[in-house]
Structure 1
Amino acid sequence: MTNITTETRGALGVITLDRPEALNALTHEMVTETADALRAFAADDAVERVLITGAGEGAPGAKPRWQQALCAGGDVVTLHADVQTTRGQGAARFWRDEYALNAQIARFPKPVVAIQHGIVLGGGVGISGHASHRVVTDSTRIGFPEVTIGFVPDVGATWLLTRGRGELGTRAALTGDHFGAADAIALGLADRYVPEDRLDELVSSLETTHPSAAIEQLAAEPPAGQLVAARPMIDRAFAGDDTQAIVERLAAAGAEGEALAATIAKRSPFAVAVTLAALRRARGLRSLEEALVQEYRVSRHSSLAADFSEGIRAQLIDKDRRPKWTPSSLAGVTPAMVEGCFAPVPEGDLVLPTSLEEEPA
């Protein structure tokens, strides 16, 4: 059964992720159906703009619609099971289609508005962070928590987090922290803040009004975040290519730095090291598409490493929150282990469609 809904409201095409019992976490079917919906809206001359949002009603005890989640990421428990049974063949197909969807949103020929309400993690950023108009609100909690499960930020994260904001993106990726509205904007993951009590009015306005004008009329300054004020320390501590040196500088940077160092120490050392390498390589890439091709290699290799299965077990299956990482420290992660995650994969590199009509390879 489908877990997305589509409708046309005036000149607005609406795509709603509709799996509220799982915080709208993306299944493979949801990815392909969203791509199909975008192709249909692109071909419909009556649709001038598209809205991507998430359902928040329908689950017992659910919070109101605009306070729950756009998308809590990919369905990683299913991906974990596939890695255990097929060495990730199903996961590979999922990532190929998901990354193609990320690129499709980025180059969509009509404005795309994403309302990043509630929880927006990992794949949720992939389905919203590449939109032309990205709106955060009071309940937004956005981030890339992959290092907490032994994985590496993907869905174009390495592109979004390295576009000229010093080391804020490095700080977000290596800690796996979640952020509110102002920090989402500072990280380059969002554009404007609209108070939650104005979101229904925004959606109605989008039926007849270009997104830039509709959002400008209702946007406000977000409540203060934490990243901008801390940026001098973050830029100093998170510089360079050496994860151990980053942690050492953080530990010597006062209470806030010590807290960040302690956070990184809880994450998968392997995933932290590979993440830093992926971010640094992404800085030299020319496009989102190139970043996605690199991320596909990294995702395939890192999903087969021990920490991916162990992290999902500890965080999402057994939920004991006590992962046993391999290796157990950053000192144990060798350059060869990191380099191996950027090597070609047996099935070949990701090949992205060159047009909206073309299916992913």
Structure 2
Amino acid sequence: MTGAHDAGAVTGADDSVLLRTEGRAAYLTLNRPRALNALTHAMVRRIDAALTVWEHDPAVETVVVTGAGERGLCAGGDIRAIHDDAKNGDGTASAAFWRDEYRLNARIARYPKPYVAVMDGIVMGGGVGVSAHGSVRIAGERSRIAMPETGIGFVPDVGGTYLLALAPGQLGTHLALTGTAVGAGDAQLCGLSDHYVPSGSLPRLVQDLAHAPVREVLGRHVRPAPPGELAEARGWIDACYSAATVEEIIGRLLDHGDSGAKQAAETLLAKSPTALKVTLAAMRAARGLGSLEKVLDQEYRVSCAALTEPDLVEGIRAQVIDKDRDPRWSPPTLAEVTDADVARFFTPLGERELGLAASDITPEAPW
């Protein structure tokens, strides 16, 4: 069929993203299972090229995104490459990667055909970016969805601060600062997914999308999501994370008396102090920006600034490269991170701006 022929034009020799069409659906599979399908710049470009082909192919009614292997959809961006670029390069490679990645995130959010993301297993960082902006987001009992950036001295990106800022109460702030992974029930509560389908039914759902409309297929497979944990924790989460500063948030958590609050405080105290303060500022600014495009523009400024700070290299070293889990943050305490330090992350980039806000679109679902 036309879609199969056209998709082949962007397949090439690189099999890091597998592309095929069947019936009324086009299938995109992230295919680096040994790296938990971590996104490279080449993968981002291939996904974008495939979406262009399928957007203009009348035979393709639905796009379906999955991850190869048994562990998950995608663990995030290729942070080893970002580490090497920040440590030994000039940061231009990472900035170029993020520019294309964030533009892809915005494109997914306004894609004119149903974009079905199967958020099975681990879905973190950049994996959230290629799934949670889609129009149909499916999680199962194996799903573990997170924006864990503060643990590597970074700040939630790929539109993560936009998504989390829309979560009820202070749930998004809690997830952004702690990097906590949530299951299917909590993902629905926080607006990160739409539907629950048991993992055992996902292969059949994916197959059925080749032969029937999305709504019909969802009706066959969607089940009530199992209860999560965050609804019961709303009391202490909302009370503590509404504080004005990270220091006050931690103080409230320690004083609250709930064991979950105490655990959250201990989690925060292990994160990059700079990343925590910038993340809180980014989350609160995102609420006022209004559109995903404006938030992505802000995230691009923050990400580029992070390349010039020591905590990103140190965090990736400690968590991913040496795996000693003992990062030496600089500055090492929250008190030493000044308002001016935080403000630097939000400095406009001039000619290097991402510039998505100029194409700000809020489309209605076309189906």
| TM tier relative to shorter chain | over 0.9
1:40 aligned partner, one-letter code: V
> CA RMSD for the aligned pairs?
1.5
1:4 to 13, 17, 21: 17
1:221 aligned partner, one-letter code: P
Shift of 1:68: 1.1
Residue deviations 1:60-97, cap 9 Å, x none? xxxxxxx4110000001101111123321000000000
1:146 to 144, 149, 172: 149
2:51 aligned partner, one-letter code: L
Gaps of at least 5 residues in structure 2 are 1-13, 362-367
Distance (Å, rounded) in 2 between the aligned partners of 1:238 and 1:141: 22
1:188 aligned partner, one-letter code: G
Asked if 2 retains the 8 angstrom alpha-carbon contact of 1:133 and 1:212, the reply is no
Which residue does 2:315 correspond to in 1? Answer: 311
2:341 to 330, 334, 337: 337
Which residue does 2:365 correspond to in 1? Answer: none
User: 1:19 aligned to 2:32?
Assistant: yes
Distance (Å, rounded) in 2 between the aligned partners of 1:143 and 1:117: 13
Secondary structure, in 3 states, of the residue corresponding to 2:288?
coil
1:115 to 118, 128, 138: 118
Asked if 2 retains the 8 angstrom alpha-carbon contact of 1:115 and 1:135, the reply is yes
Larger displacement relative to structure 2 (178-187 or 333-342): 178-187
Shift of 1:164: 4.7
Secondary structure, in 3 states, of the residue corresponding to 2:242?
coil
Asked if 2 retains the 8 angstrom alpha-carbon contact of 1:4 and 1:17, the reply is yes
Secondary structure, in 3 states, of the residue corresponding to 1:113?
strand
User: 1:71 aligned to 2:84?
Assistant: no
Which residue does 1:184 correspond to in 2? Answer: 187
Residue deviations 1:248-273, cap 9 Å, x none? 11111221111100000000010000
Structure 1 residues 130 and 143, CA gap change in structure 2 (3 angstroms)? same
Gaps of at least 5 residues in structure 1 are 57-66, 357-361
Distance (Å, rounded) in 2 between the aligned partners of 1:76 and 1:187: 26
Residue deviations 1:215-266, cap 9 Å, x none? 1321112222110111121111111331101001111122111110000000
Asked if 2 retains the 8 angstrom alpha-carbon contact of 1:241 and 1:277, the reply is no
Distance (Å, rounded) in 2 between the aligned partners of 1:347 and 1:311: 29
Shift of 1:209: 2.2
Shift of 1:36: 0.3
Distance (Å, rounded) in 2 between the aligned partners of 1:268 and 1:346: 28
1:88 aligned partner, one-letter code: G
User: 1:280 aligned to 2:293?
Assistant: no
Structure 1 residues 225 and 329, CA gap change in structure 2 (3 angstroms)? same
User: 1:238 aligned to 2:241?
Assistant: yes
Distance (Å, rounded) in 2 between the aligned partners of 1:251 and 1:354: 44
Shift of 1:355: 11
Runs of 4 or more above 4 Å deviation: 353-356
Asked if 1 retains the 8 angstrom alpha-carbon contact of 2:167 and 2:190, the reply is no
Structure 1 residues 189 and 355, CA gap change in structure 2 (3 angstroms)? closer
Which residue does 2:46 correspond to in 1? Answer: 33
Which residue does 2:137 correspond to in 1? Answer: 134
Provide the identity percentage: 47
Secondary structure, in 3 states, of the residue corresponding to 2:174?
helix
